Amino acid sequence: MRRDESAMRVFIPVSDYIAPQAKFYVGCRPYHGRLFPKVVEAACIFFYPEFWAAVDDTQPAKKRLVEMTKECKYRAAVNKTVAGAGNEAGNEAGNALADTAAPNDGTSELTSSLPDLPIIQDKPNADVERAPSRNILSDENVTSFMNFAEAMTIERCAMIAEESKASTTSLHDLKLDKVKAVHESLRSKVEEKDQKGGLMVDKLSRNGLGFFVEMCHGIISDKDSQKKVARKIKYALIASEIHVRHTSIT
């Protein structure tokens, strides 16, 4: 079947074990070579025949869709068993993006390619070419940003914004207000824990700060509520941790 040029490819996060929920995403809003994920409903996805092969087509439509989501979760799992609590980093990242769901207006015909397009994979891949993780900020500014015990001054936020803009073209319009807002959100959630009981802020390392700042700038809008900003920051923290894991030289 030839692919419609207007169709969007759908993907699902790879998980260590079979996830409790099937969350489907499309990549949209291209920004300096990156796509940002939006959640879509299974009901608006066009699945290729190979995915329907395991589904009984004599069942009612709603039941077939339920079985299809089970099949997708199974294919996306590395270990084909149900996990104990706290084993899926990909699910945690997906939950952090839950409020960015795209509206289902019935106009998009979506094609699926689940096995080869994960957004986050918890285990490092030894075949991935590793590159050094670089920081766009000076040691002084990194130390200041990583100190969540104290609020950063406006002057320090301005220094971080200007240094970021000078180092990376994609941050050319970064404003000190966003730097301040992100840091304040991190400070307010400093005791928040992830699914495994670790502190969320501990996912942010000095080497990953540049990636984290750039990602926050790309996905956080000035119109976002504080709650939405906090959820997007949570996603950026998870992504930053995985980014450093895959790019650090060993």
Phi, psi of 30 (to 5 degrees): -55, 130
Instruction: Give residue 135's pLDDT band: very low, low, confident or very high (50, 70, 90).
Output: low
Tokens encoding 103: 């509206």
46 vs 105: which has the higher pLDDT: 46
pLDDT, residue 51, reads: 75
Helix, strand, coil share (%) of the chain residues, nearest 5: 45, 10, 45
Measure the CA–CA gap between 129 and 240, rounded to whole angstroms.
17
How do residues 172-209 score in pLDDT, each as one tens digit? 889 999 999 999 999 998 889 888 888 899 999 888 89
Q: Is residue 214 pLDDT above 50, yes or no? A: yes
